[in-house]
C-alpha cells in the first residue's frame, strides 16, 4: 500500500511531537521533584577581607502551588539550612500568578528559615505587592521593595538594595543606591538588571527568574536561560509550522518541524559553550551570532519584522476562521520563496565575482 503525502507528514509530526511530549512528561512527572543545592564562589570587587567567605543562602522561584507541593519546598529549605548560611536572601516568585491560596502556606514554610545576620526578601513578577510582602514580614523577614538596608558583619557594613521586578531604569536604581555605605549587594529578581548594575559599578548582584535554565538538555546546558525573546520566536516558528502541516499536504512543513526540533540541541550546545567560555574571558562567535550580524545589517529591520509578523498572524487568523484557504501556501508560496531565495544567492555570487 503506497504511503500518501499526508500520512508521511503525520508520521514525521507524530514522531517529533511524541519525542517532545515524552521529554516534557518525564520532566513534569519526575525530574521536577529532584531538589539539589548549588554552591558557588561569588567574586566581589573591593570586598573587605572581613567579609571574605561570607556564606549567603539564595532561595528563589519556589512557585508553591499544586504543581510544587509543600514537601518539595520543605526539602529545598532543609538543604539550604544544612549549608549553615550567615545570611539568607529570598529571590521572589514564592507563588504562581499571585495565587492567594498559597501565599499564607508558603510564608509558613519559609518561616523555618533563620540565619545569624537575618533573612531578606524581594518580590518577583509572580508576587503581588501587598499580600505576599505582608505574609513575609509577618514571619520576621525584611522585605525590600525599592529599598535598601544595612547589615553590620564582622565590623564591616554590607548594604542590601532590593528592587521590584518592574524597576528597570538605571536612573531609578541609582537613586536607590545614592549614599549607600560599605559593600553594596543588589537584589534583583530579573538577572537582566546586571547590565544596569555594571553601569552603576555595583560589585555584585543576586537574582533568580531563570529557573536554572528551565529547559536543560543533559550534557548540553540550558536552551534559553533568560533569553525570552528567543524563546518567543521559537514558539512562534513551531506554532506556525504545526498550523501549516494541518492546512497543507506538502511534506516540506513536516520535514521543517523535524529539522527545527533537531536544531534545538545544536543551538543549546553553542549557547552553553559560549556562556562557559565567556566566564573564562574567551568570546566565541557561533553560527547564530553570524546570522544575527547579517540580520542587523538590514535597514529598518524592526519595521519589516513587525510587518512580517502582522502579515503572518493575519493570514493564520483568517485561515483559522475559515475565511481563507491556506493550501496555496504549500502549492504556490513556498516554491516561489525557494526560487526567489535561489535567485538571490546567485545574484550575490555574481556580485562577488564582479
Q: Residue 72 in contact with residue 66, Cβ under 8 Å?
A: no
Cell 527568574 -> residue: 209
Q: Characterize the bridge pairing of strands 204-206 and 183-188.
A: parallel
Q: Does the pTM exceed 0.85?
A: no
Strands of the chain, DSSP E: 56-59, 87-90, 119-121, 142-143, 147-153, 156-163, 183-188, 204-206, 216-217, 221-222
- Give the cell for residue 214: 528551565
How would you write the pLDDT of the chain (354 residues) with one tens digit per residue? 454 444 444 444 444 444 444 444 445 555 566 788 888 898 898 999 999 999 999 999 999 999 899 999 999 999 999 999 999 999 999 999 889 999 999 999 999 999 999 999 999 999 999 999 999 999 999 999 999 999 999 999 999 999 999 998 999 999 999 999 999 999 999 988 988 999 999 999 999 988 776 666 555 556 555 565 666 666 666 666 666 655 555 555 566 666 766 676 677 667 767 766 766 777 777 666 676 666 666 556 567 667 777 887 787 777 777 777 666 665 666 667 777 777 877 877 777 776
Structural domains in the chain, CATH included, are 5-25+220-353 (no CATH), 35-209 (3.60.21.10)
Q: Residue 126 in contact with residue 93, Cβ under 8 Å?
A: yes
- Give the cell for residue 75: 526539602
State how far the Cα of 112 lies from the Cα of 108, in Å rounded to an integer. Answer: 8
Amino acid at each position: 500500500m503506497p504511503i500518501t503525502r499526508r500520512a508521511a507528514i503525520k508520521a514525521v509530526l507524530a514522531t517529533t511531537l511524541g519525542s517532545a511530549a515524552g521529554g516534557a512528561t518525564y520532566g513534569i512527572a519526575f525530574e521536577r521533584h529532584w531538589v539539589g543545592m548549588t554552591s558557588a564562589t561569588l567574586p566581589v570587587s573591593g570586598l573587605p577581607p572581613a567579609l571574605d567567605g561570607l556564606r549567603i543562602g539564595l532561595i528563589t522561584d519556589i512557585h508553591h502551588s499544586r504543581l510544587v507541593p509543600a514537601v518539595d519546598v520543605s526539602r529545598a529549605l532543609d538543604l539550604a539550612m544544612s549549608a549553615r548560611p550567615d545570611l539568607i536572601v529570598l529571590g521572589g516568585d514564592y507563588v504562581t500568578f499571585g495565587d492567594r491560596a498559597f501565599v499564607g502556606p508558603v510564608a509558613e514554610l519559609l518561616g523555618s528559615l533563620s540565619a545569624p545576620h537575618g533573612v531578606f526578601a524581594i518580590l518577583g513578577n509572580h508576587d503581588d505587592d501587598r499580600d505576599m510582602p505582608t505574609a513575609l514580614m509577618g514571619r520576621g523577614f525584611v522585605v525590600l521593595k525599592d529599598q535598601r538596608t544595612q547589615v553590620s558583619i564582622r565590623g564591616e557594613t554590607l548594604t542590601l538594595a532590593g528592587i521590584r521586578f518592574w524597576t528597570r531604569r538605571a536612573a531609578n536604581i541609582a537613586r536607590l543606591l545614592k549614599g549607600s555605605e560599605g559593600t553594596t549587594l543588589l537584589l534583583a529578581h530579573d538577572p537582566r538588571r546586571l547590565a544596569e548594575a555594571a553601569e552603576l559599578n555595583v560589585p555584585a548582584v543576586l537574582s533568580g527568574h531563570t529557573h536554572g535554565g528551565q529547559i536543560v538538555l543533559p550534557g548540553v546546558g540550558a536552551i534559553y536561560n533568560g533569553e525570552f525573546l528567543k524563546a518567543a520566536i521559537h514558539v512562534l516558528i513551531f506554532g506556525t509550522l504545526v498550523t501549516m502541516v494541518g492546512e497543507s499536504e506538502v511534506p516540506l512543513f513536516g520535514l521543517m518541524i523535524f529539522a527545527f526540533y533537531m536544531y534545538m540541541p545544536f543551538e543549546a550546545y553553542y549557547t552553553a559553550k559560549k556562556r562557559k567560555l565567556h566566564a573564562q574571558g574567551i568570546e566565541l562567535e557561533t553560527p547564530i551570532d553570524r546570522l544575527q550580524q547579517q540580520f542587523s545589517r538590514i535597514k529598518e529591520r524592526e519595521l519589516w519584522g513587525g510587518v512580517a509578523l502582522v502579515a503572518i498572524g493575519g493570514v493564520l487568523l483568517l485561515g483559522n476562521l475559515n475565511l481563507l484557504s491556506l493550501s496555496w501556501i504549500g502549492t504556490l508560496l513556498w516554491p516561489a520563496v525557494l526560487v526567489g531565495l535561489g535567485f538571490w544567492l546567485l545574484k550575490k555570487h555574481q556580485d562577488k565575482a564582479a
